[in-house]
């Protein structure tokens, strides 16, 4: 879009006529108030109109050889680059039908010869004023559209940075040197894409934009772990009882509440990604058969995002490196997740996972933790053995 401030102060008028005397007459009348270009044929007029310096108004004769004014006007209006230039017919043709034909082609006015100079100047001034107003509105509309796009991009980037910061903080409770989060995002987008492919009814809900958003929201799946002590988070036997088990179950509420608090401080049009993250955090441990926590939701009572995350989280847990037990092979993970279809996992999500299994295997291999990450996890586990802080549940 051209900068309005860079445009010349004087409007540019193109006069088209095959008679040199008429071109001279009109130029003399307009010069001083406007910049003027002239064309002695329709072909030249079309070339000038489509050039780098487009006229603001065209005064067009009708009776010209080779290409008459009607044809010139028709071609001007067919070309998107010149369609908005106002055309005023300046002609000796005085029949009503001639005027109507000119207006039908898109002309804004029709002035008959011999001309009245005051009338021509008044009409030119009026149409240039209308053109200036139309340009202003069009420029303003384009500016606002560009501004909306810019602000949308800024908002999307803000969402991404917010998620990354919160997710990175939560990842400190796992292995900061590992690639856990780097795997979670493509796992989620791959699984959601496969589900949308298998379930046409979900195409609108799981469109490309939403799937990308889910990949980002999934990064926050572990934010509730911030309230868990290492003796629970790094428990090698995973057999928790009593208050420790209650703390484990309550971490989903802590994550949900943190995201709810963030939502309350943001406007409605920027919280979709937090709502998805909240559903993931709170309900990812629910089971299809109702045996999960924290609410014991059954089947489709569980948000779809959480059902997707349940499978993603299970595959990540089974195949990633752990110091207290060997990781499963891709084939074993596929077998275990398939076996839990209809009990722990949504059967339709499991079918989508089976379709995307090769992609999951490729992601796991490409983003596997290296030796430095494994060493960092070993050191963290050693340090956690000396933890002496005792946490208790707050009173209900």
Spans of all domains in the chain: 4-144, 172-384
Spell out the CATH class of 4-144: alpha beta
Burial of 334 (0-12, 13-18, 19+ CB in 10 A): buried
CATH 1.10.3720.10 fits 172-384, yes or no: no
Confidence at residue 246, expressed as pLDDT on a 0 to 100 scale: 74
pLDDT digits (tens, 9 = 90+) for 174-215: 655 568 889 999 999 999 999 999 999 998 999 999 999 899
- Written in H, E and C, the secondary structure of the chain is CCCHHHCCCCCEEEEECCCHHHHHHHHHHHECCEEEEEECCHHHHHHHHCCCCCCCEEEECCCCCCCCHHHHHHHHHHCCCCCCCCEEEEECCCCHHHHHHHHHCCCCEEEECCCCHHHHHHHHHHHHHHHHHHHHHHHHHHHHHHHHHHHHHHHHHHHHHHHHHHHHHHHCCCCCCCCHHHHHHHHHHHHHHHHHHHCHHHCCCCCHHHHHHHHHHHHHCCHHHHHCCHHHHCCCCCCCCHHHHHHHHHHHHHHHHHHHHHHHCCCHHHCHHHHHHHHHHHHCCCCCCCCCCCCCCCHHHCCHHHHHHHHHHHHHHHHCCCCCCCCCCHHHHHHHHHHCECCCECHHHHHHHHHCHHHHHHHHHHCCCCHHHHHHHHHHHHHHCCCCCCCCCCCC
What is the spatial distance between Cα 266 and Cα 341, in angstroms, rounded to a whole number? 38
pLDDT of the chain along its 396 residues, tens only? 444 444 567 899 999 999 999 999 999 999 988 999 999 999 999 999 998 889 999 999 999 988 999 999 999 999 999 998 999 998 888 888 988 998 999 999 999 888 899 999 999 999 998 888 887 777 777 777 777 778 777 776 776 776 666 666 666 656 555 688 899 999 999 999 999 999 999 989 999 999 998 998 899 888 877 767 666 666 655 666 677 777 777 788 888 888 888 777 765 555 677 889 899 999 999 999 999 999 999 999 999 999 999 999 999 999 987 766 778 999 999 999 999 999 999 999 999 999 999 999 999 999 987 766 556 655 655 555 444 444 444 444
Pick the closest to residue 183 from 330, 73, 389 (CA basis). Answer: 330
Query: Which two structure tokens, joined as six digits, stand for 181?
Result: 């989060």
CB 73 within 8 A of CB 102: yes
Residue where the block lists tokens 């008028």: 13
What does the pLDDT read at residue 358? 97
pLDDT for the residue 382: 55
Give me the pLDDT at residue 144, please.
Answer: 78
What is the model's pLDDT at position 323?
A: 63
Rg (CA), the chain: 35
Residue showing tokens 């102060």:
9
Angle (CA) 182 305 299, round 5°: 135
Closest CA relative to residue 221, chosen from 149, 100, 340, 310: 310
Threshold 0.85, pTM exceeds? no
């Amino acid at each position: 879009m051209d900068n309005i401030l860079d445009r010349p102060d004087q409007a540019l008028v193109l006069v088209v006529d095959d008679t040199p005397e008429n071109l001279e007459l009109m130029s003399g009348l307009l010069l001083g108030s406007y910049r003027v270009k002239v064309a002695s044929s329709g072909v030249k007029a079309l070339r000038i109109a489509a050039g780098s310096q487009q006229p603001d108004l065209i005064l067009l004769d009708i009776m010209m050889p080779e290409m008459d004014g009607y044809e010139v006007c028709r071609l001007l209006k067919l070309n998107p680059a010149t369609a908005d230039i106002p055309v005023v017919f300046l002609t000796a043709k005085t029949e009503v039908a001639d005027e109507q034909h000119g207006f039908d082609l898109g002309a804004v006015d029709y002035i008959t010869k011999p001309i009245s100079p005051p009338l021509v100047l008044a009409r030119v001034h009026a149409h240039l004023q209308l053109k200036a107003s139309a340009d202003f509105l069009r420029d303003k509309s384009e500016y606002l559209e560009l501004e909306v796009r810019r602000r949308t991009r800024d908002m999307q980037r803000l969402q991404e940075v917010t998620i990354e910061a919160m997710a990175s903080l939560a990842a400190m409770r796992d292995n900061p040197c590992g690639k856990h989060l780097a795997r979670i995002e493509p796992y989620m987008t791959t699984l959601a894409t496969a589900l949308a492919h298998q379930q046409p009814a979900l195409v609108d809900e799981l469109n490309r934009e939403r799937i990308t958003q889910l990949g980002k929201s999934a990064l926050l799946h572990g934010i509730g772990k911030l309230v868990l002590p290492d003796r629970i988070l790094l428990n090698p036997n995973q057999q928790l009882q009593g208050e420790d088990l209650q703390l484990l179950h309550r971490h989903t509420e802590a994550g949900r509440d943190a995201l709810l608090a963030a939502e309350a401080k943001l406007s409605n049009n920027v919280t979709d990604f937090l709502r998805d993250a909240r559903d993931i955090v709170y309900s990812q441990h629910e089971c299809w058969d109702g045996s999960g926590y924290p609410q014991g939701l059954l089947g489709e009572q569980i948000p779809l995002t959480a059902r997707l995350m349940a499978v993603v989280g299970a595959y990540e847990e089974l195949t990633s490196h752990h110091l207290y037990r060997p990781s499963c092979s891709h084939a074993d993970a596929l077998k275990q997740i398939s076996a839990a279809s209809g009990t722990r996992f949504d059967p339709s999500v499991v079918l989508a996972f089976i379709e995307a299994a090769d992609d999951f295997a490729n992601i796991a291999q490409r983003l596997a933790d290296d030796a430095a990450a494994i060493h960092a996890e070993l050191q963290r586990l050693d340090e956690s053995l000396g933890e002496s802080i005792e946490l208790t549940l707050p009173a209900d």
